């Protein structure tokens, strides 16, 4: 069974960093990142306000699922990265994994609320994140959201909770080992 690694967690929890590092360490697996898709839509269609960002966010879910299914048809190992704010995306991803007979592993990135809030604010103000996300306008909304646990994708019965505040080399090596285990 080809492997599907799902990386979930709150915004600013380290999902993208973990996904890209794992992809490289596992042999350049493709990473399907919903934010990357959304940013491509911003580049093509522009950005305006929070409502527009949310509209493109919805479209990015559909493109994210389409890209994952396209890769699954080839039985290629892959990493799917996103925050899951509703159950529909996880249900659809579970259906695709079952249909294409993928072995799944979910890595759920976690950090304390104050760390997430600070990372989110730093990222919003740094200019490194695409301006279409409108993060600078949503600091209070996300600070409140970070007080509650982020949703799991629901695709795997035994997700790995990965604390990203001070991720040790030993913990990361163990994570790579576990990912390789499902790949064989």
Q: In whole angstroms, give the CA distance from residue 8 to residue 19.
A: 10
Domain count, the chain: 1
Q: Which residues contact 158 (CB under 8 A, 6 or more apart)?
A: none
Domain that holds residue 108: 3-183
Q: In whole angstroms, give the CA distance from residue 44 to residue 41.
A: 5
Per-residue model confidence (pLDDT) at position 24:
94
Q: What is the largest CA-CA distance in the chain?
A: 46
How far apart, in Å, are the Cα atoms of 104 and each of 40, 74, 79, 160?
A: 27, 16, 10, 11
Residue that the structure tokens 């790579």 belong to: 176
The answer, as to whether pTM is greater than 0.75, is yes
CATH number at residue 132: 3.40.50.300
What are the pLDDT tens digits along the chain (184 aa)?
Answer: 999 999 999 999 999 999 999 999 998 799 999 999 999 999 899 888 878 888 888 899 999 999 999 999 999 999 999 987 666 778 889 999 999 999 999 999 999 999 999 998 888 888 888 877 777 777 888 888 889 888 888 888 889 999 999 999 999 999 999 999 987 6
Q: Which residues of 82-119 are buried (b: 16+ CB within 10 A; e: fewer)?
A: bbbeeeebbebbbebbeebebbbbbbbbbbeeebbbeb
Q: In whole angstroms, give the CA distance from residue 140 to residue 125.
A: 14
């Amino acid at each position: 069974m080809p492997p599907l690694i799902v990386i979930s967690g709150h915004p600013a929890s380290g999902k993208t960093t973990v996904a890209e590092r794992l992809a490289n360490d596992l042999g350049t697996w493709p990473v399907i990142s919903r934010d990357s898709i959304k940013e491509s839509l911003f580049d093509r269609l522009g950005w305006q306000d929070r409502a527009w960002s949310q509209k493109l966010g919805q479209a990015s879910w559909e493109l994210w699922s389409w890209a994952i299914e396209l890769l699954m048809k080839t039985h290629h190992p892959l990493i799917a990265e996103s925050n899951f704010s509703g159950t529909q995306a996880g249900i659809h991803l579970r259906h695709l994994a079952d249909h294409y007979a993928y072995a799944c592993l979910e890595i759920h990135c976690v950090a304390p609320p104050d760390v997430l809030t600070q990372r989110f604010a730093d990222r919003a103000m740094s200019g490194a994140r695409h301006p279409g996300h409108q993060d600078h306008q949503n600091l209070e909304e996300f600070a409140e959201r970070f007080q509650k646990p982020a949703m799991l994708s629901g695709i795997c019965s035994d997700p790995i909770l990965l604390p990203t505040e001070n991720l040790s080399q030993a913990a990361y090596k163990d994570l790579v080992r576990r990912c390789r285990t499902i790949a064989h």
